[in-house]
Amino acid sequence: MKRTRYQNYDKIENRNTFADMLRWSKERRGKTKDLIKQIPQAEQKEIKKICNNKSDISVTWIGHSSFLIQMAGQNILTDPVWAKRMGVQKRLTEPGIDINELPKIDAVVISHGHYDHLDFGTIRKLKGSPTFYVPAGLRTAFTRRGYQKVIEADWWDVFTYDKLIFTFVPAQHWTKRSLMDTNTSHWGGWIIGCKSNSDKSIYFVGDTGYFRGFQDVAARFAIDIVLMPIGAYEPEWFMSASHINPEDAIKAFLELNGKLFIPMHYGAYRLADDTGPEALDRFLAEWKRLKLDETKLKVLKIGETFWVNQG
């Protein structure tokens, strides 16, 4: 049976060839990078407060694209990956919270199927019996491992969970978990909100290149907090279709009319040539160059918690 192959807006594709991989490999050997300096861990971690929290909205950066979000009394994880390795490379920074110290998880949202965003070794260790919200094409990867509370999503699909609303929105990316399954599952971001209009909305962007879809999201949603990737962009001739660079991440945030930018997707794994500190420095330089409001930016340390109602 022919499998569905998903596409980006305007049929933008990752067209990199084996020759491009060889070119990138050669370029990488000629670069000198400081891998000693890394993104710092939070000095104090509010694990007890998090585990006892039943009412406040909080965002805790675990690292990479993994966040613990608390909203409407529910515990939500985004792209949970506690893996110590990614391919042949060791993780550069430890997860911000030990997985055994997490509270029971109610819901998990997955942006796409790449291994640095979907790690079943991590999922097996989660407390609770979460509902998994996954892109179309990924459900069977869960059900064959015994998970039954799995909901698939196409772009713009909306789901309710208790008092929460989850909306799957477009991104510009691709997927692959084996030799034959390229783009047979979808990719995207998640907007998490409450049924009450007085509560905050959080946009977990997932993995993406810059694309016109940000304008479509802005037209449909009023967004408070944007969890936006800023890393894994170098070399840009190779990465730009799939990974947004720091300057374009800010451009997208401005198009979204978001109220707060929290950067992610840097510092945990060396998926590209840029390092975590390089990505953050380049991002902060652009924020300063544009003279943007500092109160609209929250750079979290790994394991740091942002309490939304207090922030």
Angle between the 246-256 and 276-289 helix axes, to the nearest 10 degrees? 50
DSSP-derived secondary structure letter, 294: G
Task: Output the pLDDT for position 200.
Answer: 87
| Token pair recorded at residue 59 | 């965002």
CATH architecture of 43-310: 4-Layer Sandwich (3.60)
DSSP-derived secondary structure letter, 206: -
Can you give the C-alpha Rg of the chain in angstroms?
18
Of 60, 59, 64, 103, which Cα lies nearest the Cα of 81?
Answer: 64
pLDDT of 195 higher than 80: no
Q: What is the mean pLDDT of the chain?
A: 95
Of 63, 94, 107, 100, which Cα lies nearest the Cα of 229?
Answer: 63
Phi, psi of 218 (to 5 degrees): -60, -35
Q: Map tokens 């990316």 to a residue.
A: 173
pLDDT of 152 higher than 60: yes
pTM of this structure:
0.96
Report the share of the chain in percent with pLDDT over 70. 98
How far apart CA 24 and CA 300 sit, in angstroms, is: 31
Helix H, strand E, coil C: the string for the chain is CCCCCCCCHHHCCCCCCHHHHHHHHHHHHCCCCCCCCCCCECCCCCHHHHHHCCCCCEEEEEECCEEEEEECCEEEEECCCCCCEECCEECCCCCCCCHHHCCCCCEEECCCCCCCCCCHHHHCCCCCCCEEEEECCCHHHHHCCCCCCEEEECCCCEEEECCEEEEEECCCCCCCCCCCCCCCCCCCEEEEEECCCCCCCEEECCCCCCCCHHHHHHHHCCCCEEEEECCCCCCHHHHCCCCCCHHHHHHHHHHHCCCEEEEECCCCCCCCCCCHHHHHHHHHHHHHHCCCCHHHECCCCECCEEEHHHC
Task: Output the pLDDT for position 223.
Answer: 96
Domain boundaries, the chain: 43-310
Instruction: Report H helices in the chain.
Output: 18-29, 47-52, 120-123, 139-143, 213-220, 236-239, 246-256, 276-289
pLDDT (tens digit per residue) in 196-208: 766 789 999 999 9
pLDDT of 1 higher than 60: no
How far apart CA 151 and CA 304 sit, in angstroms, is: 30
Task: Output the pLDDT for position 14.
Answer: 87
pLDDT (tens digit per residue) in 51-97: 999 999 999 999 999 999 999 999 999 999 999 999 888 999 999 99
pLDDT (tens digit per residue) in 241-297: 999 999 999 999 999 999 999 999 999 999 999 999 999 999 999 999 999 999 999
